[in-house]
């Protein structure tokens, strides 16, 4: 995908405006280990055919541990196993700016769908999901999966 170029397509028939077929590129953003399997399953379920791709993305701020786990090696191994299980591409990144990194990954991989878990932040100014949606909502389909009760 060319940087800055937005591909507009009809998700119902999965064609570009010119009529060429387009494959889904689904990015599942994971944070906490206990919830990420459910999000990855959801992302996998919306794939339609072999050309569709699944990306598992975890962006950790430098001051936090991966997946909130004190045993980072175990957390990374868990994600690696999930990526193998679902045939997904795994990207784990440390960044001082999680939001900008996620936006860069959407553009880099030509993502068509972003799967996110529901944010626990009440304030929109602190809510990463809301910030991401406001920045990319006209470029990709965003699916926020509600937390389990």
Q: Decide: 77 and 71 in contact? Cβ < 8 Å.
A: no
Q: Which two tokens stand for residue 56?
A: 């598992």
Across 10-47, b (16+ Cβ under 10 Å) vs e yields: eeeebeeeeeeebebbbbbbbbebebbeebbeebbeeb
Residues ≥6 apart with Cβ < 8 Å to 48: 14, 24
For 108-129, write each residue's pLDDT tens digit. 999 999 999 887 666 666 778 8
Q: Decide: 111 and 9 in contact? Cβ < 8 Å.
A: no
Domain covering 20-126+136-144: architecture: 3-Layer(aba) Sandwich (3.40)
For 39-87, write each residue's pLDDT tens digit. 999 999 999 988 999 999 988 877 766 555 556 677 788 888 999 999 9
* Domain-wise residue ranges, the chain: 20-126+136-144
């Amino acid at each position: 995908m060319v940087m800055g170029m937005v591909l507009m397509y009809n998700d119902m028939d999965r064609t570009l405006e010119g009529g060429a077929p387009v494959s889904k590129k689904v990015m599942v953003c994971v944070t906490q280990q206990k919830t990420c399997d459910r999000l990855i399953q959801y992302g996998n379920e919306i794939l339609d055919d072999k050309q569709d791709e699944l990306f598992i993305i975890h962006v950790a701020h430098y001051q936090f541990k991966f997946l909130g786990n004190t045993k980072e090696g175990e957390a990374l191994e868990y994600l690696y196993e999930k990526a193998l299980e679902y045939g997904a591409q795994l990207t784990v990144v440390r960044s001082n700016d999680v939001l900008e990194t996620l936006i860069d990954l959407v553009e880099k991989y030509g993502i068509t769908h972003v799967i996110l878990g529901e944010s626990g932040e009440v304030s929109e100014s602190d809510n990463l999901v809301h910030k991401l949606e406001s920045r990319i909502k006209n470029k990709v389909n965003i699916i926020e999966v509600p937390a389990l009760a």
